[in-house]
Structure 1
Amino acid sequence: MSKIERISLQNLEGNFEEIEPGLSNRQAIEEANRCLYCYDAPCIKACPTDIDIPTFIKKIASGNLKGSAKTIMTANPIGASCARVCPTEELCEGACVLNHSTTPIMIGNLQRYATDWAIQNQQVLFKAGSKNGKSVAVVGGGPAGLSAARELALIGYTVTVFEAEEKAGGLNTYGIVSFRLPQAISFWEVEQVKSLDVEIRTNTRIGQDIQAQELLETYDAVVLAIGMSDVPQLGIEGEDLPSVFDAIQFVKATKTGELSKEIIGKRVAVIGAGNTAIDAATCSVRLGAENVKILYRRTIEEMTAYEFEYEFAKQDNVEFHWLTAPNRIIADEGGKVTGIECKRMVLSEPGEDGRRRPLPVEGSEFIIAVDAVIRAIGQSRYVQLIEEFGIEHADGVVKIASKSFQTSKEQVYACGDVIFGKGQGEAMVVSAAQQGKMVALEVHRKLGSEISATA
């Protein structure tokens, strides 16, 4: 990144330590014993990866922590990360029957307790299946790609993951703030996959280091799990100034030790109101910003950030300015950002798609004094990479057969953010993990029949 330079994080590490401490042994046992172990557990139905929640909690209560961690990770290959970042109050905890009488079981915290034990005790939870003679290339080593690779390796496929970054893990490694998800958690999940004889080739870009056609010729199937790219431009004057940042790269810099030498100044404006915008804002607070404003052109009702993320940002004294859109970024003669001109917005009546669109209020321009601007208005797509494989897409959203995850090219499957349609908010990490599992089963459904025919 041209705007970011490497410096020591020694004086900042404390600010990026995990906010929420894990449960103590006593707390975990007491909480596990509150569970009713429902026969037809609604919490399982609410979990996108179908974790057998009563079983893993009962194993904690009985002291079988390895068994508990294995139950979790069998269903969710990135279960340690999801224990920290899932919106549990909307999913499993929101479905807990105890909501009607008291407080729900702290499922996320118990999941973290079991998986943390496995990490601290360096547990390897799975073994690769007997090789079946078929090979699969997985493009992208994020949540969906790792999940697909793990499932395929358990079945017996020879799997190679191609990852463009220096480390695998995708969003969990680079895109979620350290004080919510430390990199060590993601690295352990990557190692669990590698322990199944999965080869992970990092620093490898399709189209540069290896061609898509070579993958198609070498492997029996290809799983495309490439996620999404950087934040698109705002399309306004001044956004190429040195103190205007891409939120994805900004959060990544806090996890890799790359930060602006001048950090970001004392006054920061973040454009957007998704989870990444919240991460950028709360990171800014930890980097020393005294006033952080989130500017969003719609209202709180249209905000895509999770409720708990919103509440967390407010606890950090982040200000939210609704119906506010950037017009231009202002700098002094030396190119230093000094402010952002905004305009008030109103929402139209719902269109055919049901969405209300923001419209500018004439003559409503005003200026907010800032030292830095962070754009967090979604992510662009890897269109060129998709087209390397010659598969159909709609502006970077890969088209698939809904049940088989098969693309327009029979040999190529897709999962994760690359199939997540525009205008749907932000995809969940746990949903990507489930899609990875489902893709693996669909690949096996196709190739497994070929194996049987030649056996």
Structure 2
Amino acid sequence: MESLASGSTLKFSEVRRDLTTQEAVEEANRCLYCYDAPCTKACPTGIPVPSFIKKIASGNLKGSARVILEANPMGATCSRVCPTEELCEGACVLNELSLPIMIGDLQRHATNWAMQADQPLFQKGSPNGMRVAVIGSGPAGLSAARELARFGYGVTVYEAKEKAGGLDTYGIVPFRLPQEIPLWEAEQVRKLGVDLITNTTIGEDIAAEEILSGYDAVVLAAGMAGVPFLGIPGEDYNGVYDAIELIEDIKESRITDHFSGKRAVVIGAGNTAIDAATCLKRLGAADVKIIYRRTEMEMTAYKSEYAFAKQDGIEFRWLAQPKEIIGDVYGNVSKLICDRVELGDMDESGKRRITVVENAQFEIEADVIVRAIGQKRRRELIDAFGLAHERGVVKVDPNTYQTSNEKVYAAGDVIFGTGKTDAMVVSAAEQGKQTAYAIHRQLLHPLLKEV
């Protein structure tokens, strides 16, 4: 495909600008620096929020960035994509008085300084003679790799794609997360002596058996794959897209402005669905609808993302289930046939049962249809390592992240259970950290295993 047309990069500028120095200091001085810090407790990585904010107030941006990144190796990314209104800012005591501290914006301000200054904040540990392989370079994999390198392990990260960063690099829209942010975080890990090997697929370029025999421990952090098919007629027509692949093509500038004036329908109501819909809008789609077979109450997208989509003019159709995609004589999408549905009692998974309403079909004219109904599991990779799993979700010890193979640990989306919202980047980063600590206890400090 051709690259983006001239001027298209403007459509993908970050939707939130950085705070000025004065704005950051003034906002930092609003903080009460709570002793019990409910904001810190609400952060999955436990960032000492009052500490990093106080350093901003005193002009110590290097110290602030170090506090953030010490706790969260993906702190620059998370300052942009975390649902702060549900985590740290949601726990801020000032919610009861006025407005919460803009913790996410302050975190972004400090980590922006770190990216621009490019000063070393961490150092690799003295070599301990042991080697660990990390499969996948997303937030879980890179976080594990960084901590292991600081402990002195020789770490090799294997990544199937051309660039490191996983879903952060390829799967989050550029106006929320420019690609240079996760690539900078990956580079900080590489500077600690970690060997980042890209364009390498386990099972094709290197066997799982070779990995298992060549390292003292393995971290499986490969995330998930593309979007599954809907299982309805017509999915092979031109104009039907996988949301993950669509966003990657946009971030990699492999797609043109050929959505101008088109009518688009995105199927699903998670964060990826909203990312795809807002991307299409920025690429010129005249009308973008999101359809979901449940209601607003059950949608898995963050509240902030839902609000953002509505501001962008995205229309939501609830209780609508795709039934068939209709194409024209040229093999292009022309419309989507849907059933109206209603929700009933809870099933065994805790979700309300869906019943099709008789004689209530309707159609939506469309030139573009995007599947955004979750992601497929990497069962072949899991089976290659011989790991126990439940429908593609790797089983781990919740305290150590150790799998059924005592040499293999797992973190990130590969262990995230079904039937819930997408795992957060910040949670994956924390799992990567804790996996590194567990490996360190197992390999070099066996007496501390139970600590």
TM-score bracket for the superposition, by shorter chain length? over 0.9
The code of the aligned residue for 1:406 comes to Q
Q: 1:171 aligns with which of 167, 183, 200?
A: 167
CA shift, 1:260, in A, is 5.2
The code of the aligned residue for 1:437 comes to K
Q: Normalising to structure 1: TM-score of the pair?
A: 0.97
Distance in 1 (CA, whole Å) between partners of 2:345 and 2:256 is 42
Q: 1:81 aligns with which of 67, 77, 82?
A: 77
Which residue of 2 is the match for residue 253 of structure 1?
249
Structure 1 residues 311-345: Cα deviation after superposition (integer angstroms, max 9, x where no partner):
00000000000000111111111112111011101
CA shift, 1:264, in A, is 6.7
Q: Name the SS for the 1:301 alignment partner.
A: coil
Which residue of 1 is the match for residue 138 of structure 2?
142
Q: Using a 3 Å threshold, how does the CA distance of structure 1 residues 103 and 312 change in structure 2: closer, same or farther?
A: same
Distance in 2 (CA, whole Å) between partners of 1:370 and 1:331 is 10
2:291 equivalent to 1:295: yes
The code of the aligned residue for 1:109 comes to D
Which residue of 2 is the match for residue 383 of structure 1?
379
Which residue of 1 is the match for residue 222 of structure 2?
226
2:399 equivalent to 1:403: yes
Aligned length: 448
Q: Name the SS for the 1:159 alignment partner.
A: strand
Identity %: 59
Distance in 2 (CA, whole Å) between partners of 1:291 and 1:175 is 23
Distance in 2 (CA, whole Å) between partners of 1:269 and 1:26 is 43
2:343 equivalent to 1:347: yes
Q: Tell me, yes or no, if the aligned pair for 1:326 and 1:340 is still in contact at 8 Å.
A: yes
The code of the aligned residue for 2:220 comes to L
Q: 1:159 aligns with which of 149, 155, 158?
A: 155
2:430 equivalent to 1:434: yes
CA shift, 1:357, in A, is 1.9
Q: 1:446 aligns with which of 429, 434, 442?
A: 442
Distance in 1 (CA, whole Å) between partners of 2:5 and 2:370 is 20
The code of the aligned residue for 1:330 comes to I
Note the 1:228-247 alignment, pairs <5 A: 228-247=224-243
Q: Tell me, yes or no, if the aligned pair for 2:132 and 2:217 is still in contact at 8 Å.
A: yes
Q: Tell me, yes or no, if the aligned pair for 2:4 and 2:257 is still in contact at 8 Å.
A: no
CA shift, 1:350, in A, is 1.2
Distance in 2 (CA, whole Å) between partners of 1:329 and 1:400 is 40
Q: Name the SS for the 1:406 alignment partner.
A: coil
Q: Name the SS for the 1:173 alignment partner.
A: helix
The code of the aligned residue for 1:255 comes to K
Q: Name the SS for the 2:352 alignment partner.
A: coil
Q: Name the SS for the 1:341 alignment partner.
A: strand
Structure 1 residues 103-131: Cα deviation after superposition (integer angstroms, max 9, x where no partner):
11000000000000111112221100111
Q: Name the SS for the 1:215 alignment partner.
A: helix
Structure 1 residues 198-222: Cα deviation after superposition (integer angstroms, max 9, x where no partner):
0000000000000000010000000
Which residue of 1 is the match for residue 185 of structure 2?
189
Q: Normalising to structure 2: TM-score of the pair?
A: 0.98
Structure 1 residues 419-441: Cα deviation after superposition (integer angstroms, max 9, x where no partner):
00110111111000000000000
Which residue of 1 is the match for residue 90 of structure 2?
94
Two-structure CA RMSD over aligned residues (Å): 1.3
Q: Tell me, yes or no, if the aligned pair for 1:264 and 1:289 is still in contact at 8 Å.
A: yes
Distance in 2 (CA, whole Å) between partners of 1:198 and 1:353 is 41
Distance in 2 (CA, whole Å) between partners of 1:20 and 1:267 is 27
Distance in 2 (CA, whole Å) between partners of 1:451 and 1:161 is 28
CA shift, 1:143, in A, is 0.4
Q: 1:277 aligns with which of 259, 273, 278?
A: 273
Structure 2: which 5+ residue stretches go unaligned? none
Q: 1:56 aligns with which of 28, 52, 55?
A: 52
Q: Tell me, yes or no, if the aligned pair for 1:272 and 1:376 is still in contact at 8 Å.
A: yes
Q: Name the SS for the 2:94 alignment partner.
A: helix
Distance in 1 (CA, whole Å) between partners of 2:436 and 2:5 is 40
Q: 1:118 aligns with which of 114, 121, 127?
A: 114
Q: Tell me, yes or no, if the aligned pair for 1:44 and 1:51 is still in contact at 8 Å.
A: yes
